[in-house]
């Protein structure tokens, strides 16, 4: 089986990695780059725990081959903090007690961030639609939705 030398921009830095054809981007991030904030919940595109940003859009990293990421710009949950400072959605999830086991949280953070980037003032329906692909087995979602709403308000106050 062939391997490929690829270069990715990840959380601001550059990485060169050698990956076999059949390695998922999820496996590469966790096993080659130790970015274990990216979670493997199903490896089937269903749960969203592996969601990362790829070239400015959220994708299920289990549904992407690592080799496809050659030249791409990636952001994982590890890349959301700036100089140790949490972003608005991270703060809001803590404030609203929207984290229990935390397994879904990195994916929720990426999806919610992507939503607020493309639509800074989403309705509750739009928030729910944007998070359809992020399953949470603990919280029952209400607090997560409330947290995203709170982050929207925080952004408005900052602006």
Partner 1 sequence: MNNAHPGLPEFDYIKPATLAEASQFLVQHENESRPFMGGTDIIVRMRDGFWKDKYLVEVKHLEGMTSIHFDPVKGLTIGAATSMNNVAAHPDIQRYYPLLAEAANSVASYQLRNRATVVGNICNASPAGDTTGASMVLGGVLSVHGAGGLRTEPLTTFFLGPGKTVLKPGDIVTAITFPIPPKGWAGKYIKLGRNALSDLSIVGVTVLGYPDAATKSGYRFHIVLASVAPVPFVAAAAEAVLAEKTISDDVLDAAAAAAMDGCKPIDDVRSSARYRKLMVRNLTRKALDEVWTKIK
Ligand X SMILES: Cc1cc2nc3c(=O)[nH]c(=O)nc-3n(C[C@@H](O)[C@@H](O)[C@H](O)COP(=O)(O)OP(=O)(O)OC[C@H]3O[C@@H](n4cnc5c(N)ncnc54)[C@H](O)[C@@H]3O)c2cc1C
Q: Where does this chain bind ligand X (CB under 6 A)?
A: 45-46
SS (H, E, C) 134-149: CCCCCCCCHHHHHHHH
Region near partner 1 per CB under 8 A, out of 9-17, 20-28, 82-90, 140-148: 20-28
Region near partner 1 per CB under 8 A, out of 42-50, 72-80, 95-103, 136-144: 42-50
- Contact between 142 and ligand FES by CB under 6 A: the answer reads no
- Contact between 47 and ligand FES by CB under 6 A: the answer reads yes
Q: Residues in contact with partner 1, total (CB under 8 A)?
A: 36
Q: How far apart are CA 81 and CA 99, in angstroms?
A: 17
CB 50 within 8 A of CB 62: yes
SS3 69: helix
- Contact between 27 and partner 1 by CB under 8 A: the answer reads yes
Q: Interior CA angle at 90 toward 28 and 133, to 5°? A: 55
- Contact between 127 and partner 1 by CB under 8 A: the answer reads no
Region near partner 1 per CB under 8 A, out of 81-89, 95-103, 109-117, 144-152: 109-117
Strand order in the sheet with 13-20: 13-20, 3-10, 73-75, 51-54, 57-60
- Contact between 64 and partner 1 by CB under 8 A: the answer reads yes
Binding residue (CB under 6 A) for ligand FES from 28, 33, 136, 147: 136
Region near ligand FES per CB under 6 A, out of 48-56, 74-82, 85-93, 109-117: 48-56
Residue 38 beta carbon to ligand FES: minimum distance, rounded to whole angstroms: 9
Closer to partner 1 at the Cβ: 22 or 97? 22
Within 10 A of 1 (CB to CB), how many other CB atoms are there?
6
CB 68 within 8 A of CB 7: no
Q: In b/e form, how buried is each residue of 47-58, taking b as 16+ CB within 10 angstroms? A: bbbbbbbbeeeb
């Amino acid at each position: 089986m062939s391997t490929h030398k690829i270069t990715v921009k990840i959380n601001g830095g550059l990485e060169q990695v050698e990956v076999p054809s059949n390695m998922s981007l999820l496996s590469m991030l966790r096993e080659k780059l130790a970015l274990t904030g990216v979670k493997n919940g199903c490896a089937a595109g269903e749960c969203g725990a592996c969601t990362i940003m790829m070239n400015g859009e959220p994708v299920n990293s289990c549904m992407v081959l690592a080799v496809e990421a050659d030249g791409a710009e990636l952001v994982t949950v590890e890349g959301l903090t700036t100089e140790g400072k949490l972003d608005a959605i991270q703060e809001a999830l803590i404030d609203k007690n929207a984290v229990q086991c935390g397994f879904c949280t990195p994916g929720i953070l990426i999806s919610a961030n992507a939503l607020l980037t493309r639509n800074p003032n989403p309705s509750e329906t739009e928030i729910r639609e944007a998070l359809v692909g992020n399953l949470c087995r603990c919280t029952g979602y209400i607090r997560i939705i409330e947290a995203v709403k709170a982050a929207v308000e925080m952004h408005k106050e900052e602006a």
